[in-house]
Amino acid sequence: MNLSGKKILVTGADGFIGSHLVEELVRRGFDVRAFVLYNSFNSWGWLDHSEPAIKKNLDIFAGDLRDAYGVKQAMKGCDVVLHLAALIAIPYSYHSPATYVETNVMGSLNIVQAARELGVAKVVHTSTSEVYGTAVRVPIDEDHPLQGQSPYSATKIGADQLVLSFYRSFGTPVAVIRPFNTYGPRQSARAIIPTVITQILSGKKQIKLGSLSPTRDLNYIDDTVRAFIAMAESDTVVGQVVNVGSGFEISIGDVANLIVEELAADVEIVTDGQRLRPEKSEVERLLADNSKAKRLLGWVPEYGGLDGFRRGIQKTIEWFSDPENTRGYKSDIYNI
């Protein structure tokens, strides 16, 4: 699909990945409507920090994914929907699982129901590698069993299957992108890389983390954004699930050590009990098979392997090192 002349709606546009995606789409000259969460402060999240030229060319819609009427209003006149909005914090899903059902499952239902009624040309729905749970085989391809090891991952499994059911039942043109762990500028300090960086930069001598042994397939934000745009443009992904991962595996402990090395910090890394997941809920291993993305999208990670990961970490550290960027971060408080 040629996106030129098409109206593109991005939900979750105020968040980490969504804001980077919106900015890149605008830079490429596309017509973008940014769906942000309504709030009384009229905040557009990270889009408030975008360059004036970006904001000038944005069509902002403030609403709530859980409101079917509002979702349909946001989607009117749009040709393509890139659906990123979701609740994603795993620890908070233990605390308030019902909100995850309402937002992730019912919100996604509102998207595909409106797409069906409005005749939207394509919906790209965002999944997560967490739906696979601890790998039973690696690398993880799209046919790997799905395992809900947290309320968050269970709602994402539900949302994925609901969206795909609309393709199978009604021919709604949906595709599912399944990013493995994305990192980079603007990521929440709940995530491993920002929490290590912000704790070190704030002068902590003891860095508090959860379990250090699990492995992850970590992807720099630029690679993830390119994959979203490739999914929107591809004519071969409708009805498909596509993994987006670097194909490089590294443990949480080794991630922390690499950041410590890059910052030349003299710190101690310790396990903090409140940051541990329940034993059966921890996902111990994630490593992507990205061959389908290469085949269908022509997408390959530019930050793959240890060298690529180190380059991504360096760019992330550079961003977090600017106090202007982290003014709103509270690195001294653990937020579930």
- Using DSSP's 3-state secondary structure scheme, residue 285 falls into strand
Domain that holds residue 242: 7-184+217-247+286-297
Q: In this structure, are 15 and 59 located in the same domain?
A: yes
Q: In this structure, are 93 and 135 located in the same domain?
A: yes
Q: In this structure, are 223 and 120 located in the same domain?
A: yes
Question: Does 290 fall in a domain?
Answer: yes
Catalytic annotation on 152? yes
> What are the 10-residue block averages of pLDDT along the chain, 336 residues in total?
97 98 98 98 97 97 98 98 97 97 98 98 98 98 98 98 98 98 96 94 90 96 98 97 98 96 94 85 96 98 98 98 90 71
Give the integer Cα–Cα distance in Å for 12 and 20: 11
- Using DSSP bridges, classify how beta strands 250-251 and 215-216 pair: parallel, antiparallel or unpaired: antiparallel
Question: Does 325 fall in a domain?
Answer: no
139: cis peptide before it, omega within 30°? Answer: yes
Closest CA to 301 of 221, 215, 194, 186: 221
Residues 131-177: tens digit of each pLDDT = 999 999 999 999 999 999 999 999 999 999 999 999 999 999 999 99
Closest CA to 103 of 119, 76, 84, 79: 84
Read off the CATH number of the domain in which 25 is found.
3.40.50.720
pLDDT at 279: 86
Read off the CATH number of the domain in which 197 is found.
3.90.25.10
Residues 178-200: tens digit of each pLDDT = 999 999 999 999 899 999 999 99
- Write out the H or E segment, with its range, that includes residue 309: helix 305-320
Question: Does 92 fall in a domain?
Answer: yes
Q: In this structure, are 14 and 62 located in the same domain?
A: yes
pLDDT at 333: 74
Give the integer Cα–Cα distance in Å for 194 and 188: 7
* Angle at alpha carbon of residue 46, lines to 41 and 47, rounded to 5°: 85
Q: In this structure, are 18 and 145 located in the same domain?
A: yes
Q: In this structure, are 16 and 129 located in the same domain?
A: yes
Q: In this structure, are 100 and 201 located in the same domain?
A: no
Q: In this structure, are 77 and 90 located in the same domain?
A: yes
CB 247 within 8 A of CB 287: yes
Give the integer Cα–Cα distance in Å for 225 and 13: 12
pLDDT at 272: 82
Q: What is the percent of the chain where pLDDT is above 70?
A: 99
Question: Does 19 fall in a domain?
Answer: yes
Q: Could you give the number of structural domains in the chain?
A: 2
Annotated active-site residue in 132, 152, 220, 303: 152
Give the integer Cα–Cα distance in Å for 290 and 312: 19
Q: In this structure, are 274 and 232 located in the same domain?
A: no
3-state helix, strand, coil in the chain (%, to 5): 45, 15, 40
pLDDT at 332: 72
pLDDT at 330: 78
Q: In this structure, are 180 and 277 located in the same domain?
A: no
Please report where in the chains the tokens 């402060």 appear, as a residue.
41
Q: In this structure, are 210 and 223 located in the same domain?
A: no
Question: Does 54 fall in a domain?
Answer: yes
Using only C-alpha atoms, what is the Rg of the chain?
19
pLDDT at 141: 98
Question: Does 233 fall in a domain?
Answer: yes
Question: Does 327 fall in a domain?
Answer: no
Q: In this structure, are 174 and 202 located in the same domain?
A: no
Work out whether the CA dihedral 272, 277, 283, 284 comes out positive or negative: positive
pLDDT at 274: 81
Question: Does 168 fall in a domain?
Answer: yes
